[in-house]
Amino acid sequence: MEVLGEPVPNGSTLPVGTTLSLLATPTCGDGPASAWQWTANLPDGTDAPFVPSAKVQNPTLTLTAEGEYAIAVEFWDPIGAKSCGAGLLNFWVGEGP
């Protein structure tokens, strides 16, 4: 998974207020992906929706609170078959663990 074209290593620490521009590029399956589903595990009480939605290839997500985040994306091919395993990124916002 990349942010603004740059890989973000698992376990990274990012500042509050960062807007991530997510890039989903599956590297498996038959043909290009035609559907995406992003999910996020956010700190308690946090509401940080994917913009414009969780069903687009490259949404943004603004990190609004300190804590641990986990973002995942799944892909489907043009005939509706899941084309790869989910991509997963875990990171901290704020001071870190």
What was the pLDDT predicted at 50? Answer: 95
Total residues belonging to the chain:
97
Peptide bond into 49 cis (omega under 30): no
DSSP for residue 82: B
The CATH code of the domain at 2-93 is: 2.60.40.10
Question: What pLDDT is stored for residue 56 in this prediction?
Answer: 92
Domain residue spans of the chain: 2-93
Q: What is the pLDDT of residues 35-94, one digit of tens each?
A: 889 999 999 888 878 999 999 988 999 999 999 999 988 888 777 888 766 678 888 898
Chain-centroid distance, C-alpha 94: 18
User: 20-46 pLDDT, tens per residue?
Assistant: 888 877 656 666 778 889 999 999 888
pTM: 0.80
Residue type, 33: A
Helices then strands, each counted (H, E), the chain: 0, 8
- Closest by CA to 24, choosing from 78, 91, 80, 83, is 83
Residue with tokens 């990274």: 12
